[in-house]
Structure 1
Amino acid sequence: MEDGIHQLAKSIRKRELPKKFKKREILHFVDFLRTHLLPKELRDPNHVPSRDDACWEFPPGVGDLHDAGVKFAVNKSDSMLDIEFKGGVLYIPKLEVEDHTESILLNLSAFEQCHYHSDSYVVDYVLLMDVLITTLKDVNLLLSSGIITNALGNNDEVAHLFNTICRETNYEAHNFYYTRICRQLVAHSKTRWNRWKATLRHDYFNNPWTIISVIAAIVLLILTVVQTACTVIAFRRL
């Protein structure tokens, strides 16, 4: 965890502390690290949970979302917790997975479970990432999009990392921070038209030669129909 602390110290050195530090009482250095990672938009402290808040489900993994037409891009936010879904693109801040990533996330998650159980952000982030990353295909897609850089060597270990952390975590369904994103992703993945478009793009329009072949086939079909129509018209005039 020392390397992670050192990197944090370097990132905030020579800069004025953000306003979010000035408005909060820092309990511990882990709390300082957590506060540094807080997303731009926080929960509304005046919001009263309702039954509808708990009516949602986790989305499928990255691979399935990709098959449903979801694209993935790096969110350039300062906080790794700022995940957004807009325009069919899931924006996730870049995460460097290295030797100390697991210990840092474990410490942050444990701290939140003890002191911010009803206002968790890191725990909710880890849970969402665990759902999104379950297979090697999921990891490879995030690697290719630049969202994850893996310094562990084995890509399977990335999925295992989040699985390990989530074993000891709990969450409140009615207060889950990424509820809106989960609903959006589920709705997108269940829309047949999105899957059809994705299938066409991935299987038939993934290279220029395929596109040319499809266009040629369409032109040939049109010419055949026109020729047939002309033949029928000419036959009727006889």
Structure 2
Amino acid sequence: MEFNKGGEASTLISHELSELSKTQTQRSIYRVHKYLRNVNSQCYEPNIVAIGPYHSNKDNLQMTEEHKLRYLQLLLERKKENVESTKTPCHNLFPGGRLKYKTERSPEEIKHILDLVHGNWIPSIKEVNLNVDEVDRMREWRFIHSATELTNANVAFQKKLSDDFFKVEFDDGLMQMPPLNIEDRTECFFRNLIAYEQYFQDSRPNFVTDYVKLLDSLINSSEDIDILCKCEIIDNWLGDNEVVANIFNRLTLSVTGHQHFVYTDIFDKVNAHYGTRRNKAIATLRRDYFNSPWAYFSFLAALAILSLTVAQTVFSALQVF
């Protein structure tokens, strides 16, 4: 496009800016972007029932549409109301409908079912005592070694029952985490909550995303899953440790990190423990020289031979004198 005057460009831009949607910040239901869908698109597709407008017209979901109406009828009968006289919490089931009602714990509005699940699963910012100083420090994201490497560096893992699913603690070489059951639905559950957090437009920490990133750091292979299963942090209902490792290694693909990383303090403590000269040396010895049961047996055999040789030498010397 050519402009005869410089002012025409600024006028056109100003006009386009004025035409921008005023409701962008009010949106609460988003389509999962293609980069997340490309990793595993099936996790974002309903198989039985459509909730909301995006999937309601799909042929494979039509068999449940009548059931939805029956449940609506039962709900209205129980409330002794009709469609015209009430704004029921289920009117988000209809195409174009929007669900808005307040929770008992705060005036925040629940926008849809996924928002309800997310809001009731994560702790509030007040519960984790997130202050300005911590937010500033969280901007430096780091990584930690895998469970196998940390075990080699004298880190122990322990299951800890807690009402806060995201409560992870590390002190004096001991990492404590709440238990996690891995089943068929686990990947889809995490993927949908992670996708939802990708569209946060405020400074809320991404608890689910950061928790999965923590597990992804700890899990590189089936050996790491085996360690976490033995200490009952992970309960593998899928059976195959390699499958579980692959799930967590792929969960954060195409996921944008948030500047407010929840586990910065944990990562700092773990890396400080791993970085000591003594623990580094122990980790290197275990990784390079004692990485299998046969290596231990070979070491013990060599130690036994050396001990016998020394004993024989001492005994011979005593006989001479």
TM over 0.5: yes
Q: Counterpart in 2 of 1:95?
A: 180
Aligned match of 1:125: 211
Change (3 A) 1:63 1:124: same
Cα distance, 1:196 vs structure 2 = 5.2
Q: Secondary structure at the match of 1:138?
A: helix
- Specify the alignment match of 2:121 in structure 1: 37
Partners of 1:168 and 1:117 lie apart in 2 by 20
Does the CA contact (< 8 Å) of 2:222 and 2:242 recur in 1? yes
Task: Structure 2: give runs of 5+ residues left out of the alignment.
Answer: 1-42, 47-102, 291-296, 298-321
Structure-to-structure mapping, 1:193-212, within 5 angstroms: 193-195=278-280
Give ranges in structure 1 of 5+ residues lacking alignment: 3-19, 204-209, 211-238
Aligned with 2:199: secondary structure? helix
Q: Of the two, which has the highest radius of gyration?
A: 2
- Answer yes or no: is the 8 Å Cα contact 1:69–1:195 preserved in 2: no
Query: Identity over the aligned pairs, expressed in percent?
Result: 31
Contact 1:109 1:123 in 2 (8 A): yes
The CA RMSD over aligned residues, in Å, is 4.0
Contact 1:57 1:186 in 2 (8 A): no
Larger displacement relative to structure 2 (115-124 or 181-190): 115-124
Q: Report the TM-score when normalising by structure 1.
A: 0.69
What is the 5 A alignment of 1:106-117? 106-115=191-200
Higher helix share: 1
1:163 partnered with 2:249: yes
Q: Does the CA contact (< 8 Å) of 1:38 and 1:121 recur in 2?
A: yes
Correspondent of 1:22 among 92, 105, 126: 105
Question: Distance in 1 between the 2:277 and 2:105 partners?
Answer: 48
* 2:147/2:227 contact within 8 Å kept: yes
- Secondary structure of 1:127's counterpart equals helix
TM superposition score normalised by structure 2: 0.53
The CA deviation at 1:121 is 0.5
Work out the number of aligned pairs and report it. Answer: 209
- Partner deviation per Cα, 1:83-110 (whole Å, 9 max, x = no partner): 1111211111100000000011111111
Which structure has more relative contact order (CA 8 Å, sep 6+)? It is 1
Cα deviation per residue 1:32-76 (whole Å; 9 max; x = unaligned)? 3223332484252544854x5434521111100001100000121
| Cα distance in 2 for residues equivalent to 1:21 and 1:84 | 30
